[in-house]
Structure 1
Amino acid sequence: MRTPKFPRRSLALAAALAAVPTALLTAPAQAATGTPTAAGAPPTGFVELPASPLPPDHAQRVITVSYRNDSSADRTVAPQVLIESPANGPFLDPASIRLEVLSTDGHWRTLPLASQTGTLYTRLASAKLVLHGHHTLTERYRITVVGTAPAQGTVEPRVALYG
Structure 2
Amino acid sequence: MSLKNSRVRLASVALVVALSGLTAASPAMAATRQPAAAVSTASQVQAPATLSGFVDLPASALPSDSARHEITVTYRNDTSADRTVAPQLLVTSPDEGPFLAPSDIGLERRKADGCWEAVQVGTQTGTLFTELPTAQRTLHAGETLTEVYRLTVVDPQAKGTVQPRVALYG
Q: Which residue of 1 aligns with 2:77?
A: 69
The 3-state SS of whatever aligns with 2:51 is coil
1:112 counterpart = 2:120: yes
Using the alignment, how far apart are the partners of 1:54 and 1:43 within structure 2? 27
Separation of aligned partners in 1, 2:140 and 2:108:
25
* CA RMSD, Structure 1 to Structure 2 (Å): 1.3
Q: Name the structure 2 match of 1:3.
A: none
The answer as to 2:48 corresponding to 1:48 is: no
Does residue 125 of the first structure (1) align with residue 133 of the second (2)?
yes
- In 2: Cα distance, 1:47 partner to 1:61 partner: 22
Q: Shift in Å at residue 76 of structure 1?
A: 0.3
Picking from 142, 154, 162, the partner of 1:134 is 142
Structure 1 outlier segments of 4+, above 4 Å: none
Separation in 1, partners of 2:78, 2:61: 29
Alignment of 1:123-162 (within 5 A): 123-147=131-155, 149-162=156-169
Task: For 1:113 and 1:150, locate their aligned partners in 2 and report how far apart those are by CA, in whole Å.
Answer: 19
Equivalent residue runs for 1:82-101 within 5 Å:
82-101=90-109
Larger CA Rg, structure 1 vs 2: 2
Paired residues of 1:47 and 1:160 also in contact (CA < 8 A): yes
1:57 touches 1:150 (CA, 8 Å); kept in 2? Answer: no
Q: Deviations over 1:73-108 (max 9, x none)?
A: 110000000000011000011011011111001111
1:162, 1:94 → 2: CA distance? 27
Alignment of 1:28-39 (within 5 A): 34-35=45-46, 38-39=47-48
Are the aligned partners of 1:63 and 1:140 in contact in 2 as well (CA < 8 Å)? Answer: yes
Aligned length: 127
Give % identity.
57
Instruction: Give me the TM-score of the superposition, normalised by structure 1.
Output: 0.75
Q: Give unpaired runs (5+ residues) of structure 2.
A: 1-43
Secondary structure, in 3 states, of the residue corresponding to 1:158?
A: strand
How far apart in 1 are the matches of 2:51 and 2:77? 16
Cα distance in structure 2, aligned partners of 1:62 and 1:68: 20
> Aligned with 1:44: secondary structure?
strand
